[in-house]
Every structure is written in structure tokens, then in C-alpha cells.
């Protein structure tokens, strides 16, 4: 048992205690009795800021957890997602005296292994730090795992596992599913990210997939000087991809660069099945000739053939604006519950496609859909299986970077062109025609089989032997609520009659007891009518709100560029999060 975990549990609990108490106050105004407290958007934003400070205080593991949560709108309300997207994995590097033993344990004395070594880190992050060195006269970048990080991660993961069952008691079924997958994904991801041997293998595999593409550059790994805790790569400087002014001075076509970036990730996910999963601006750079440079493959993933096919089907559905195909793909990927209201979800998808395509959205139409669905990203029925969480992260962050490069960038159009060029759309049409042909065949067979069955049913009806069995799915507990009201009403009636009879024929004490009983039943009956929970939300699907958010993020990125300079190698592990295409606001949170 990791004894450090017990101490960390106390520290974590102390940090989160104010928010836990606030959440309990929301559910019960005075903890033990009283109604729910209405939670406003401003209250949630303030709590998100407090929680963000707590994550920063708790250190590396929780910083990484916050970054992961910033891409999970199915787990957190939009105010928290927006706040966590500001979380950057940029912390002061450990002292050289602490980092040097790690290199010596893995490779040997630094002065003997490298011809030169700059002991001032060019990048510091929660899990590792990067140094610049020389190897046989060639510049290299040396990534070193942060000292003593392994025991801290194990302790914090144990704390998270202990806390999970408690959290599950306060959330709904859909969010429980998402929270479980998040915990599994986080455990796997953070262990993979500190395994530099795995990072080297993933980097080399992706590098080989783009070996013939001169517009893409991925640093080569120096195997002789790389281990599970130290990773040595060629040093490739470049201009940060969001340094807009510098890119313009270099004469870079930013629209073309954004298109190339999206196509690279489409190839990784749809064709190759292995992808760089952390495409934030600190990990993307541009060389003077326009070559796109990728850094930091610690967060990378694989996509199996089945998921690849469904992602293609999803994009083809968007390209064709085929809502049924989109919903079918989401259901088959496990992202959308099969029991979801397809009409409502279809309306949401129509607005989302309209918004992403840059079309004007009818405000009346928005209000109409708001009346049908309430913050569907955060609430049931959307959820994220673990194997799709990294894909979502890539999609949202890449879209954000592309829009930063070109505010009018059409993400869907580029994806459609790619699918057409690669032949996926034609294959999708072929499969559609084949499936329609199968449906026509089944319909013809059913036409032949149905009349005899119908005749037998009518004969049974004439003989009085026809019976119908029905199963009612009371997912909202309506029958239980009606039964409770009926019982409380009968007991209240009996109580009132008892009060009248006892008042006339019995002692005052017995009458008082009957009065107390009647009042209790009246309160329970009243509460049964007042306890219905109703969510209210105002999803902001309009392009105007999306542009405003992107302009704000572009301004913040420009300010960051002004202070960090134009060389991107030092930002190899700087996390900024992505832009979520749909902003939603949730009122009346439980």
C-alpha cells in the first residue's frame, strides 16, 4: 500500500472541502432540510476558478487531470470546461541538481555522454523538462522525467480511485459512465506520458508514416541516448504556429497551413490509425519554408479499424448533411445512447452543422431547439467512451488552432474534400445503395409474409383469443410518483377525518397526534409536487458567439506570443487546451 496516498488524500480533501460543502448546499439548502439552491452561471464560473487554483496547488497529476477535463464537456458544465481550457502545463523546472541524477542513472555522467549540455531547461512542465545539448557536434533536445514524479503520480491516482465511488453517488447514470471512462483514460494516459520509451516508438511510427511528405517534419529520436526516463531527439527550432504576426512576416499562407494541419490529422486518424494527441500551439511550429513541425508525442493514441470506419461514416454524414447517418454513427461508436430522442438530437445536429459551416443560424430556430434539449453535451444522452476521448481532444484543439490561423476556416469543407480525394465518400455512397437494396429485398419478402400473419391475427380477434402484452418503461419514475401522491392523499384524508373524530370524542393529546400526522402527510404530498427536477439551458449555437470566443482566445494567444518569443521548441509541453465548437449554458444545476 502506498503510504504517501493517505497523506495526499488529506491534502486533496482539504483543498476540495469548500466546493464539496457548496455542492451539498445546492442539493439541500440547509444540508438536512429545505429546498435546492439555484446555481447561477456566475456562481459556477467562480467555483471553476477556485477549483482551477486547487488543481494548480495540488501539483502535476491534478494539472494533467484539469487539462483532460477541459476536453470533456460530457463530464463538466461549460463554465468549468472554459476555465480549465486556460490551464497550461508550464511550471518551473526542477533544479539541475535534482535532474542530473536522473540522466546519470539512465545514461551515465553528463559530461561524458554529451559533448555539451546547457543546464538551464528550455521548457519546464509538470511531468518532465527539456534541455538543449550537443551530441557529436549536432544540437539535440533532451527530455528528462521530473525527479520523484512516479511515487507522486501513484499516490494521486490512488486518491482519485478512493474518491470515485463517493462522486458516483451524486451524479446521474450518463455522467457516471463518462466519469468512469475518464478515470480509466487518465490512469492509462498519464502512465503512457511518463514512459519515454513508448513515446519514442510512437514518434518513430508516425514519422515513418509521413516519410515521403516534405511539408511535415518530426524530430528524429537518438536511440543510443534514450531510455524510459530520458528521451534525446534532434533539435528542430521553429516559429510557434499561433504567432500570427511572425508567420505573416515570413510570408506563410496561413489558410493553406491550417488546411495542411487538418489533413495531417485526418490521415493519422482515418488512414494510419496512430496519431499525435496533443496538438496545442506549444507542440506545433513552422519553419521559414512553411514546413510544419510537431513536438512532444508523450500523448498519442491508436484508433482501431472499427472506430476508423465509424469516424469516416460520421464525417460523410456531416458532408452529406444526412442527420440519420450522423446519429447512427454516434450510436455505433458508443457516443450516443440508443434510447436517445432522435428527433431532438437531429435538431441539435442540424444547428451544429449549420454553425460549423459558417451559415447564419435562425434565432427563432435556436429557441425552438432549446425548448426540446437542455445542454445535451453535458447531460444525457451524449457520452464519451475511453477510446474516443483522445480523438475528441484532437478534433477540438486542431479546430481551434485552424480558426486562430484563419477565422473563416471551414473545417467541414476540408474534411469533405479529403474524404472525396481518398475515395471514402464514394465508398460510403456505395454502401448506402447496397444497404437500401437490402432493405428493398427485405420489404419485398415482408410483403409476401405479412398477409397470412394478418389473417391469423384477425381470426384470433374474431374468436376472442387475441391478447396483447405491453411493457412500460418508466424511466422518469412517473408511476412511482403518482403512487406516492395517491398514498399520501389517502393518508391525509384519513388524518383529517381522524382529527375531526378525535376532537369530538377523544383527548386533546390524541387529537394533537392526529394533527401532527396530518400535517406531515400534507407536507409530503406538497413535496411530491415540488420535487420534480427540471433543467434549463440556453445553448449558444450562433456563429456570433463562437466568433467572440475565438477572438478572445486569439487575443490571449497573441499576448502569450509577445512574451514567449517566436521559438517553439521551448514550449514543447505547454498545454493551452482547445476551442469547443458549441458553447452551452446550464441553469438550475442539481
Per-residue buried b or exposed e for 233-268, using 16+ beta carbons within 10 Å of the residue's own CB? bebbebbbbbbbeebeeeebebeebbbbbbbbbbbb
Is 187 catalytic? The answer is: no
Longest dimension (CA), the chain: 108
Give the separation between CA 128 and CA 194, rounded to whole angstroms. 8
Give yes or no for a contact between 119 and 131, defined as CB atoms under 8 angstroms apart. Answer: yes
Q: What angle do CA 23, 25, 30 make, to 5 degrees?
A: 160
What are 519's three cell numbers?
400535517
**Which residue among the candidates 278, 309, 355, 561 is catalytic per the annotation?**
278
**Burial environment of residue 453 by CB neighbours within 10 A (0 to 12, 13 to 18, 19 or more):** exposed
The strands making up 239-240's β-sheet, listed across from edge to edge, are 216-217, 292-294, 284-286, 239-240
Start-end of H helices in 219-337: 244-249, 254-266, 305-320, 323-333
Give the separation between CA 184 and CA 191, rounded to whole angstroms. 11
Q: Which of 42, 52, 41 is nearest to 19 (CA)?
A: 52
Cα–Cα distances in angstroms (integers) from residue 361 to residues 354, 365, 369, 477, 543, in the given order: 7, 8, 12, 37, 7
Q: Which residue has the cell 460520421?
A: 314
Question: How do strand 292-294 and strand 216-217 relate by DSSP bridges?
Answer: parallel
Cα 3 to chain centroid distance, Å, stands at 32
Q: Residue 231 pairs with which residues in a beta bridge? A: 143
Give the three-state DSSP class for 133.
strand
DSSP single-letter state for residue 132: E
Contacts of 337 (CB under 8 A, 6+ apart): 174, 331, 380, 381, 383
Active site residues: 278
Amino acid at each position: 500500500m502506498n503510504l504517501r496516498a493517505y497523506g495526499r488524500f488529506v491534502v486533496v480533501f482539504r483543498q476540495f472541502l469548500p466546493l464539496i460543502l457548496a455542492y451539498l448546499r445546492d442539493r439541500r439548502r440547509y444540508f438536512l432540510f429545505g429546498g435546492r439552491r439555484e446555481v447561477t452561471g456566475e456562481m459556477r464560473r467562480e467555483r471553476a476558478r477556485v477549483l482551477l487554483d486547487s488543481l494548480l496547488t495540488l501539483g502535476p497529476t491534478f494539472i494533467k487531470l484539469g487539462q483532460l477535463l477541459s476536453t470533456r464537456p460530457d463530464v463538466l458544465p461549460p463554465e468549468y470546461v472554459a476555465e480549465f481550457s486556460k490551464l497550461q502545463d508550464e511550471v518551473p523546472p526542477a533544479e539541475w541538481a535534482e535532474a542530473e541524477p536522473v540522466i546519470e542513472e539512465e545514461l551515465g555522467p553528463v559530461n561524458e555522454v554529451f559533448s555539451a549540455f546547457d543546464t538551464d531547461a528550455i521548457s519546464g512542465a509538470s511531468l518532465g523538462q527539456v534541455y538543449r545539448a550537443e551530441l557529436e557536434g549536432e544540437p539535440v533536445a533532451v527530455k528528462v522525467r521530473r525527479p520523484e514524479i512516479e511515487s507522486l503520480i501513484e499516490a494521486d491516482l490512488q486518491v482519485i480511485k478512493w474518491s470515485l465511488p463517493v462522486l458516483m453517488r451524486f451524479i446521474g447514470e450518463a455522467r457516471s459512465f463518462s466519469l468512469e471512462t475518464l478515470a480509466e483514460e487518465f490512469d492509462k494516459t498519464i502512465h503512457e506520458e511518463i514512459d519515454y520509451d513508448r513515446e519514442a516508438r510512437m514518434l518513430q511510427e508516425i514519422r515513418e508514416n509521413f516519410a515521403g511528405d516534405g511539408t511535415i517534419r518530426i524530430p528524429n529520436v537518438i536511440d543510443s541516448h534514450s531510455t524510459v526516463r530520458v528521451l534525446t531527439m534532434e533539435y528542430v527550432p521553429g516559429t510557434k504556429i499561433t504567432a500570427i504576426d511572425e508567420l505573416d512576416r515570413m510570408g506563410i499562407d496561413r489558410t493553406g497551413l491550417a488546411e495542411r494541419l487538418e489533413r495531417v490529422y485526418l490521415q493519422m486518424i482515418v488512414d494510419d490509425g496512430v496519431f499525435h494527441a496533443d496538438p496545442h500551439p506549444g507542440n506545433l511550429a513552422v519553419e521559414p519554408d512553411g514546413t510544419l513541425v510537431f513536438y512532444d508525442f508523450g500523448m498519442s493514441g491508436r484508433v482501431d479499424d472499427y472506430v476508423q470506419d465509424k469516424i469516416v461514416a460520421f464525417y460523410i454524414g456531416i458532408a452529406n448533411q444526412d442527420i440519420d447517418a450522423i446519429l447512427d454513427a454516434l450510436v455505433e461508436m458508443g457516443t450516443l445512447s440508443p434510447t436517445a430522442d432522435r428527433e431532438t438530437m437531429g435538431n441539435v445536429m442540424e444547428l451544429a452543422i449549420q454553425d460549423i459551416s459558417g451559415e447564419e443560424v435562425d434565432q427563432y430556430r435556436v429557441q425552438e431547439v432549446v425548448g426540446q434539449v437542455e445542454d445535451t453535451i453535458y447531460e444525457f444522452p451524449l457520452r464519451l467512451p475511453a477510446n474516443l476521448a483522445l480523438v475528441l481532444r484532437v478534433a477540438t484543439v486542431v479546430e481551434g488552432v485552424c480558426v486562430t490561423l484563419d477565422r473563416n476556416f471551414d473545417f467541414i469543407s476540408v474534411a469533405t474534400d479529403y474524404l472525396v480525394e481518398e475515395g471514402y465518400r464514394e465508398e460510403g455512397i456505395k454502401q448506402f445503395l447496397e444497404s437500401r437494396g437490402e432493405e428493398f429485398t427485405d420489404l419485398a419478402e415482408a410483403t409476401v409474409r405479412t398477409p397470412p400473419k394478418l389473417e391469423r391475427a384477425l381470426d384470433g380477434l374474431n374468436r376472442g383469443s387475441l391478447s396483447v402484452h405491453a411493457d412500460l418503461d418508466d424511466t422518469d419514475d412517473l408511476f412511482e410518483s403518482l403512487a406516492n401522491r395517491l398514498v399520501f392523499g389517502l393518508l391525509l384524508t384519513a388524518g383529517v377525518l381522524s382529527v375531526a373524530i378525535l376532537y369530538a370524542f377523544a383527548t386533546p393529546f390524541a387529537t394533537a397526534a392526529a394533527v401532527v400526522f396530518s400535517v406531515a402527510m400534507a407536507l409530503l404530498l406538497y413535496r411530491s409536487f415540488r420535487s420534480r427536477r427540471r433543467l434549463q439551458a440556453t445553448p449558444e449555437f450562433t456563429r456570433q458567439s463562437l466568433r467572440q470566443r475565438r477572438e478572445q482566445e486569439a487575443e490571449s494567444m497573441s499576448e502569450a506570443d509577445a512574451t514567449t518569443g517566436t521559438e517553439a521548441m521551448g514550449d514543447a509541453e505547454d498545454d493551452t487546451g482547445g476551442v469547443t465548437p458549441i458553447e452551452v449554458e446550464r441553469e438550475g444545476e442539481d
